[in-house]
Amino acid sequence: MDSSSVHPPESPRRHASDTTIVIPLYNEAPVIGGVIEGLQAHFDHIVCIDDGSSDGSAEAARAAGARVLHHPFNLGQGAALQTGISYALTLPHTRFIVTFDADGQHRVQDVLEMLDLADRDDVAIVFGSRFLDKRTNPGIIKRVILKTAVWVTNMTTGLRLTDAHNGLRVIRADAASKITLEQDRMAHATEIVLKLGRTGLPWREYPVELLYTDYSKAKGQSVLNSVNILVDLLVR
**18-27, 89-98, 163-172, 226-235 — which is least confidently predicted?**
226-235
- Dihedral, 79, 83, 89, 94 alpha carbons, nearest 10: -90
- β partners of residue 93: none
Domain count, the chain: 1
Structural domain boundaries enclosing 154: 3-235
Residue 141: pLDDT above 80? no
**Residue 230 — pLDDT band, cuts 50, 70, 90?**
low
Rounded Cα distance, 226 and 32, in Å: 22
- pTM reported for the whole predicted model: 0.83
Q: Tens digit of pLDDT for each residue in 14-30?
A: 999 999 999 999 999 99
Q: How many CA atoms lie within 13 A of 31 on its CB side?
A: 18
CATH of the domain at 130: 3.90.550.10
Q: Are 66 and 78 in contact (CB under 8 A)?
A: no
Encode pLDDT of 153-180 as tens digits.
555 555 677 887 789 999 999 999 999 9
